[in-house]
Structure 1
């Protein structure tokens, strides 16, 4: 019997002054309120990954660095992912790209969604992340949560009248619902398919 999927909420920025903790905390509360999957917060700061320096992708050759192996074990323990995506110079962070590169096998056949933020709602970073995910054989869901423009300014610290991110709930409720609903559906379907493949291979 297929058990409830387990979804990782991955914080994709590691700099000390990051804002990512705010949308991560907010999205985590939305995910934990659902009963169709379990959720765990994963912070890239906790893994101290080196720049990718293996002989090849683990699609071809097993990795050797114990830090990479620890990360691969973590990645493979989930049935799907939501990435908290900061936009740096029109793309994703170097830390997130490196974390994606450190594994190949573990990402396969799992869905992914995004909470992206920045002046344009992190849209350009999100559109860079989607094809990376496809190459890693993830399934990007159609919807995403974008925090941008005047809404972004409302909730960031350099606004003297900063509001709590919960003030954006009425604006973002539909995109949260759509993103998590799609993610849940694909997580269940792909988890069942992976388990069926594993039984057949046994």
Structure 2
């Protein structure tokens, strides 16, 4: 059992996580016109805080994660709210996604856990239908103080220009990378704001 499996049951208890997911979902919906004909995949979905924001707006909703604990919590939430979703066990580094199967792929705060984001970008590009959208949010470059533990953290945020060029290198077009929100955390007795960007691109 990994740390995300252990944390799943209480994941939504932190208001800053709920707020961040809401901010990311709102930013995605400002970039993409979502309708009931769309199939949406949220990768690194966790407890589905971003994915469930699209309920009633999109058609098919799928949450993908490498943590069984997170997916079990998501399924419990969806069943309780009588929301029809699909779940998928997916390791972004080693697993593949169905080809040309989704209209929108989203991801929130997952990229910094990947050794090479380009591997995931290529898989996301292949999994999108022609004209589909890819939206991924993560931290801008920080000094390593965002996380309480560095376990599983591969990057201390990202330079926005690096993310832009990596997406273009993997075949995406109409790429934009913009700051959309921030996360407030107390560090050394002071509240620090950690900026979060949204990568928005098309296939």
TM-score over 0.5 for the pair: no
The structure having more radius of gyration, on CA atoms, is 1
Provide TM-score, normalisation by structure 2. Answer: 0.40
- 1 or 2 for the larger relative contact order (CA 8 Å, sep ≥6)? 1
TM-score of the pair, normalised by structure 1: 0.41
Quick check: which one's strand share is greater? 2
**More helix per residue: 1 or 2?**
1
